C-alpha cells in the first residue's frame, strides 16, 4: 500500500484501511510499536475532529461486538470486551473491541478479511488532536493486524515499510513476504528479548570511528527497539553525549544556533545550505554496526531535521532518552530505507533506496485513478476529485489550482475571506504568500472557491514529490477548516508545467499597470508644460538641453 503524510510535518505516516460492509475508510498511523488497531467510534464522547467520519457499527451489516470472555477485560454494561492503551507522550486510547471485514482498497490484492479492532470511546493527548483517525497496530500480539492475517494464512509472516526522505512525504508498505534485495543488510531480532521489534546494535561509528562506549549500553531494558510510530531517535545518556560530541567535532565550518522551539534545547547548526543532496559533504557519515558485524549507513537525513525558522539550518534528530536505558530508533533513522520485519526468521533487513520511487516500482495492485503524468493538466468534473498516483521525479509543476466547494453560503463566508489563505496554507504545509484566492462564486447554499498555489521563493516550479504532497492532502480530505466554514468538497484540481507560467505570465498585470501609469504621468506632465508655455508667452517649441531620463519600472 502507499503511505501518506510526512514524518516531520505530521509526526507520522498513514495508510488507508477500510472497515465494514459497505466499507468505511480511515487514515491510520503505521505503528510497529502498537498491537491494537483502532478507530474512533460513533458513540465516542471524547474523540477529536479527525480526517474521516467516525466508524458507525450500525451501518455495517458484517459488524459484531467481541463478547466478554476470560481472555479479555470486560465492559459489564455492554457485555463486550474492552481495550486500553497508554503511550509515553501521555496520550491514551480506550474503547470496546469489535469484529468486522477489513480491506486495503484497490491498492491491495488481498480480499476482505474478518479482524478484531478497537472502537474508541475515549482518546487523550496527541491522539485527540492529530489529523489521523487512529492507529494500525503492526506489533507482536494476538490483536495485531499482522498476527491476525498471518494466523488466517492469507499473508506470510513478514512486512516492510519504506519512509520518504527529508523533503519527500509518502512511501510504501507491504504486508507479507517480499524477496529481499541481494545487498540488504540484516540484524538478528530476538522476539523473546522484548515485546517490541529489536535489533542487535553493538556500536555507532561517526566518520569511520566507533564511539568509545561499552557495547552493552545498547542492550539496556528493552534493548534497541525499532518503532515506526516514533518520529526521532532516543539514546541512553552516555551514548547520546558521545554521539552529540562526535557530530559537533566535525562541524567547525557551521555556527551553532538556537532551535525553532524555545521550549526545547535543540542542537542546531546554520550555514549548511538548502540542498539536501550536498549535506553528506558537510555532515559526517554515520554507521550502525550490528551484532553480526554488518553495517547500516545513516545519511545526514537519517539523523538531522530541517530548522523550521532558519533557511539552510539543521538540527540533531537524536535525543537523550531521559533515564530510560532503552535505545529507541524512530522513523527518522530509516528515511529512504526499505525496512523488512522478517518475523518468521527473526531478523530485520535494511536497504537504502528512494522510498518515494519505490511505491511506483512496486506498484502493487495499482491506484484508483490515473496519474497526471502525461498531460500538462489534470482536470476533474464537478464530482469529488480522486487522489493522484505517484508523479515521475522529472515532472515539474509550475502551478497548482483547485476548486473547493464549502458548505456555507456566500454571505456567511464573506466576513472570513481574509482568514482563508492563512488557513489553507497551514493545512497544505506551505507559506501564506504561496496561496492566492482567485475567485469566490455563490452556488445557493454552498460557495465555490478557486485557489492558486505557487512555488516558494525564487523557484518557478514544485518538485513532483512536493506537488504530490499538496494534492494528496486535498484529495485525501486532510484539510481541516474551523467549524464555521462547514465541510468542504474538492471538485477540481489542475497542475500546470513551469513553461505555462513564465515570468511575463506571473507579472503581466503588474507590468501593464506600470506602463499605463508611466503613460498617464507623461501625458499629465506634457499637458501641464503646454499650459505653462502658453501662459509664459512661448509660441514655438524649444529643445531641452539635457535629455529627460526614462522613468524606471520597479519590479514587483
Residue 507 lies in a domain: yes
Instruction: State the pLDDT at residue 428.
Output: 86
Residue 201 lies in a domain: yes
Q: Are residues 139 and 182 in the same domain?
A: no
Q: Are residues 545 and 434 in the same domain?
A: no
Q: Which three cell numbers stand for residue 122?
A: 475515549
Q: Are residues 221 and 344 in the same domain?
A: yes
Q: Are residues 120 and 179 in the same domain?
A: no
Q: Are 35 and 139 within 8 A, CB to CB?
A: yes
Helix (H, G, I), strand (E, B) or coil at 484: helix
Q: What is the CATH number of the domain that holds 126?
A: 2.40.70.10
Hey, which bits of 57-189 come out as E strands? 64-65, 73-75, 80-86, 92-103, 113-124, 134-137, 158-163, 171-175, 185-188
Residue 380 lies in a domain: no
Task: Report the candidate in 94, 63, 68 with the shortest Cα–Cα distance to residue 80.
Answer: 68
Instruction: State the pLDDT at residue 5.
Output: 79
Q: Are residues 196 and 331 in the same domain?
A: yes
Structural domain containing residue 117: 2-155
Q: Are residues 321 and 212 in the same domain?
A: yes
Q: Are residues 458 and 540 in the same domain?
A: no
Residue 344 lies in a domain: yes
Q: Are residues 413 and 483 in the same domain?
A: yes
Q: How many CA atoms lie within 13 A of 25 on its CB side?
A: 11
Residue 374 lies in a domain: no
Residue 10 lies in a domain: yes
Instruction: State the pLDDT at residue 20.
Output: 96
Tell me, what DSSP letter sits at residue 392?
Answer: P
Query: Which pTM value belongs to this model?
Result: 0.68
Instruction: State the pLDDT at residue 523.
Output: 60
DSSP string, 274-309: S-GGGGGGTSPPEEEEETTS-EEEE-GGGTEEE-SS
Q: Are residues 121 and 61 in the same domain?
A: yes
The pairing of strands 224-226 and 327-329 is: parallel
Q: Are residues 406 and 344 in the same domain?
A: no
Rounded distance, CA 369 to CA 456, Å?
28
Rounded distance, CA 332 to CA 229, Å?
10
- Give me the residues of the chain with pLDDT under 70, please: 359-396, 458-459, 464-465, 476-477, 483-484, 486-487, 498-556
Alpha-helical runs (H) found in 320-448:
355-362, 410-413, 420-428
- Number of C-beta neighbours around residue 288 at 10 A: 23
For residue 309, cis peptide bond before it (omega within 30 degrees of 0):
no
Instruction: State the pLDDT at residue 483.
Output: 66
Q: Are residues 274 and 125 in the same domain?
A: no
Angle between helices 420-428 and 464-475 (to 10 degrees): 110
Q: What is the CATH number of the domain that holds 490?
A: 3.30.70
Q: Are residues 407 and 454 in the same domain?
A: yes
Residue 383 lies in a domain: no
Q: Which three cell numbers stand for residue 142?
A: 494476538
Q: Which residues lie closer than 8 Å to 393 by C-beta, 6 or more apart? A: 356, 357, 463, 464, 465
Q: Which residues lie closer than 8 Å to 392 by C-beta, 6 or more apart? A: 360, 373, 464
From 481, 501, 521, give the residue that closes a domain.
Answer: 501
From 155, 186, 201, give the residue that closes a domain.
Answer: 155
Rounded distance, CA 259 to CA 263, Å?
9
| Number of compact structural domains in the chain | 4
Rounded distance, CA 482 to CA 490, Å?
16
Task: Report the candidate in 274, 335, 328 with the shortest Cα–Cα distance to residue 306.
Answer: 274
Residue 181 lies in a domain: yes
How far is the CA of 124 from the CAs of 74, 86, 92, in angstroms?
A: 21, 9, 5
Q: Output b/e per residue, 142-171; b: 16+ Cβ within 10 A.
A: ebbbbbbbbeeeebebbbbbbbbbbbbbbb
From 316, 333, 362, give the residue that closes a domain.
Answer: 362
Amino acid at each position: 500500500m502507499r503511505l501518506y503524510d510526512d514524518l516531520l510535518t505530521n509526526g507520522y505516516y498513514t495508510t488507508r484501511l477500510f472497515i465494514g460492509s459497505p466499507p468505511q475508510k480511515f487514515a491510520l498511523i503505521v505503528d510497529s510499536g502498537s498491537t491494537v488497531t483502532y478507530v474512533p467510534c460513533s458513540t465516542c464522547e471524547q474523540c477529536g475532529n479527525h480526517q474521516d467520519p467516525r466508524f458507525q457499527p450500525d451501518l455495517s451489516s458484517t459488524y459484531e461486538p467481541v463478547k466478554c470472555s476470560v481472555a479479555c477485560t470486560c465492559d459489564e454494561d455492554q457485555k463486550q470486551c474492552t481495550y486500553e492503551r497508554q503511550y509515553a507522550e501521555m496520550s491514551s486510547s480506550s474503547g470496546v473491541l469489535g469484529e468486522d471485514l477489513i480491506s486495503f482498497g484497490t491498492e491491495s490484492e488481498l480480499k476482505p478479511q474478518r479482524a478484531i479492532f478497537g472502537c474508541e470511546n475515549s482518546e487523550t493527548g496527541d491522539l485527540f488532536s492529530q489529523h489521523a483517525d487512529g492507529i494500525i497496530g503492526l506489533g507482536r500480539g494476538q490483536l495485531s493486524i499482522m498476527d491476525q492475517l498471518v494466523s488466517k494464512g492469507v499473508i506470510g509472516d513478514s512486512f516492510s515499510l519504506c519512509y520518504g526522505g527529508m523533503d519527500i512525504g509518502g512511501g510504501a508498505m507491504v504486508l507479507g513476504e517480499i524477496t529481499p534485495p541481494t545487498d540488504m543488510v540484516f540484524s538478528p531480532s530476538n522476539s523473546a528479548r522484548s515485546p517490541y521489534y529489536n535489533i542487535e546494535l553493538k556500536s555507532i561509528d561517526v566518520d569511520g570511528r566507533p564511539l568509545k562506549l561499552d557495547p552493552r549500553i545498547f542492550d539496556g531494558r528493552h534493548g534497541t527497539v525499532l518503532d515506526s510510530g516514533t518520529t526521532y531517535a532516543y539514546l541512553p545518556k552516555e551514548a547520546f553525549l558521545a554521539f552529540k560530541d562526535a557530530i559537533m567535532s566535525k562541524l567547525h565550518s557551521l555556527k551553532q544556533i538556537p532551535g525553532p522551539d524555545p521550549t526545547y534545547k535543540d542542537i542546531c547548526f546554520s550555514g549548511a545550505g538548502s540542498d539536501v543532496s550536498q549535506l553528506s559533504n558537510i555532515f559526517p557519515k554515520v554507521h550502525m554496526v550490528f551484532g553480526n558485524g554488518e553495517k547500516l549507513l545513516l545519511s545526514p537525513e537519517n539523523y538531522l531535521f530541517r530548522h523550521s525558522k532558519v533557511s539552510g539550518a539543521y538540527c540533531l534528530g537524536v535525543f537523550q532518552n531521559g533515564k530510560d536505558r532503552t535505545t529507541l530508533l524512530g522513523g527518522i533513522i530509516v528515511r529512504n530505507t526499505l525496512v523488512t520485519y522478517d518475523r518468521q526468521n527473526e531478523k530485520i533487513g535494511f536497504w537504502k533506496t528512494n522510498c518515494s520511487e519505490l511505491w511506483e516500482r512496486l506498484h502493487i495492485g495499482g491506484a484508483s485513478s490515473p496519474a497526471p503524468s502525461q498531460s500538462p493538466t489534470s482536470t476533474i468534473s464537478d464530482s469529488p476529485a480522486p487522489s493522484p498516483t505517484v508523479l515521475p521525479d522529472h515532472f515539474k509543476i509550475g502551478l497548482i489550482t483547485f476548486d473547493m466547494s464549502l458548505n456555507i453560503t456566500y454571505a456567511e463566508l464573506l466576513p472570513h475571506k481574509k482568514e482563508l489563505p492563512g488557513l489553507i496554507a497551514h493545512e497544505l504545509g506551505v507559506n501564506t504568500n504561496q496561496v492566492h484566492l482567485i475567485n469566490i462564486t455563490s452556488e445557493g447554499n454552498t460557495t465555490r472557491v478557486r485557489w492558486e498555489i505557487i512555488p516558494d521563493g525564487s523557484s518557478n516550479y514544485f518538485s513532483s514529490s512536493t506537488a504530490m504532497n499538496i494534492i494528496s492532502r486535498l484529495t485525501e480530505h486532510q484539510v481541516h477548516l474551523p467549524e464555521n466554514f462547514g465541510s468542504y468538497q474538492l471538485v477540481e484540481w489542475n497542475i500546470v508545467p513551469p513553461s505555462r507560467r513564465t515570468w511575463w505570465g506571473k507579472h503581466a498585470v503588474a507590468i501593464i499597470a506600470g506602463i499605463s501609469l508611466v503613460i498617464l504621468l507623461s501625458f499629465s506632465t506634457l499637458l501641464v508644460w503646454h499650459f505653462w508655455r502658453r501662459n509664459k508667452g512661448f509660441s514655438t517649441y524649444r529643445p531641452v538641453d539635457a535629455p529627460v531620463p526614462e522613468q524606471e519600472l520597479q519590479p514587483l
